Homo-oligomer: A and B are copies of this chain.
């Protein structure tokens, strides 16, 4: 078994080579599943590397007759370089999760055309213009009227249908075992989300000198450290559903009509609140960054209202859709709440209320942890980074940080997303 695994690994190493724009053409020509997407005319391809992400290489490939996106994982973290090695197997888990989640929610997940495990290479739908990365839209102040509805749909379906509310324990544990192997990615999250921000760590940074004391305060906040320990344990131990694992606003491509979720290379069975929190937390970051983008043409006041409304709608619609799925499938294969036990609609309602309240508090906890790490950890967000005036940026970041700390500590006191919105607004003053 160990020998077999080793052999497999060697074969994979043998089959692997990092592509560039030239060798990619040859690869496509040799790969019918990709060639077919581009029509016959493979001799006049336009190829553009667009990987603005932190980890991988992404090529947009266009022909007269079609298009495809090729994403390849190299055995290290792109934005750090080969001093930070990272398993290429993340491409396998990204492809698996894309396929699984697309099966559950085809409207909001791109199709995978081709996966080559040895090459750590995914060929998928080109999410064409005018789609842009949501984070960029938020920075530009663009409203997406369907975003909350679409993301609620995506989260409700991917989380519900991969949980014990829908699946038998047998199927669930099969999935858990499969994704246990994506542990290197989980460890990366552990480090950059749940550990480094709370200690002195090599890659931590903040808007210095303005936030030096704020960052130090995070490292000295006992209450915060007790809360983060609980979330960190839950992150690793609790296999509640197949998560996207990196559901920030940089993993979502949008137009006013369409919402597409990409980049689930951190996928694993974890607590649902981690995905929901990632999305909501990044919207709150976008909110606090708006003052840094306000100018005479646009004071961003109306846009801030829209962001808050989107946060509120996202949770409320998620809640509604998730419970609807639960009710619809309550007599299905899921064994968590057996109909002969939860045998009155009143009792089922109580059980759902308890479940959703606890999920809400988890989401707030993980969401605020994701906010904190974007301000005092290694990876910052463009929402703030693009504010050129460092002092202005720092003051936006400080409000976000203080808001997140308070939510993390007090999350169990919130009874509705409306209360959270009021809380967020209360930090939006100097």
How far is B355's CA from A173's CA once the two chains are assembled, in angstroms? 26
Question: How big is the A interface, by class?
Answer: 35 or more
Main secondary structure of the interface of A (DSSP, over half): helix
Of the listed stretches A37-45, A119-127, A339-347, A364-372, name the one at the interface; the rest are far from the partner chain.
A339-347
Given contacts A195-B341, A199-B338, A338-B195, contact A183 B164 (CB under 8 A): no
A298 cross-chain contacts in B, Cβ below 8 A: none
Q: Quick one: given A239-B237, A336-B233, are A180 and B176 in contact (CB under 8 Å)?
A: yes
A36 at the interface (CB under 8 A from B): no
**Could you say which residues of chain B place their CB within 8 Å of the CB of A199?**
338, 340-341, 343
> Which one of A56-64, A71-79, A223-231 contacts B?
A223-231
Is A305 in contact with chain B by the CB < 8 A criterion?
no
Which one of B226, B340, B355 contacts A350 once the chains associate, using CB atoms below 8 Å?
B226
For A172, give its contact among B198, B226, B236 (CB under 8 Å).
Answer: B236
Within 8 A of B (CB), among A218-253: 222, 225-226, 229-230, 232-233, 236-240
- Min Cβ gap A174→B in Å is 7
Whole-angstrom distance between the Cβ of A219 and the nearest chain B Cβ:
8
Chain B neighbourhood of A181, CB < 8 A: 173, 177
What is the CA–CA distance of A411 and B183 in the complex, to the nearest angstrom? 34
Can you list, as one digit per residue, whether each of A193-223 has a CB less than 8 Å from chain B (1) or not (0)?
0010011110000000000000000000010
Establish whether residues A187 and B164, one from each chain, have CB atoms under 8 Å apart when the complex forms: no
CB-based contact B169/A180 at 8 Å: no
Q: Given the interface contacts A180-B174, A233-B164, does A200 sit within 8 Å of B169 by beta carbon?
A: no
Quick one: which of A46-97 are within 8 Å of B by CB?
none
Q: Does A335 contact B (CB under 8 A)?
A: yes
Q: Which residue of B lies closest to A240 (CB)?
A: B237
**Which of A177, A198, A347 is packed against the most chain B CB atoms within 10 Å?**
A177
How close is A15's CB to chain B, nearest CB, in angstroms? 18
A337 at interface (Cβ–Cβ under 8 A)?
Answer: yes
Cβ-based interface call for A413 (8 A): no
**Is A313 engaged at the interface, CB distance under 8 Å to the other chain?**
no
Q: Return chain B residues, CB-CB under 8 Å to A354.
A: 226, 229-230
- Measured CB to CB, the residues of A under 8 A from B are 164, 169-170, 172-174, 176-177, 180-181, 183-184, 186-187, 190, 195, 198-201, 222, 225-226, 229-230, 232-233, 236-240, 335-338, 340-343, 346-347, 350-351, 354-355
- Identify the 10 closest CB pairs spanning chains A and B, nearest first: A177-B180, A199-B340, A173-B180, A173-B183, A177-B177, A198-B341, A199-B341, A237-B238, A169-B187, A237-B239
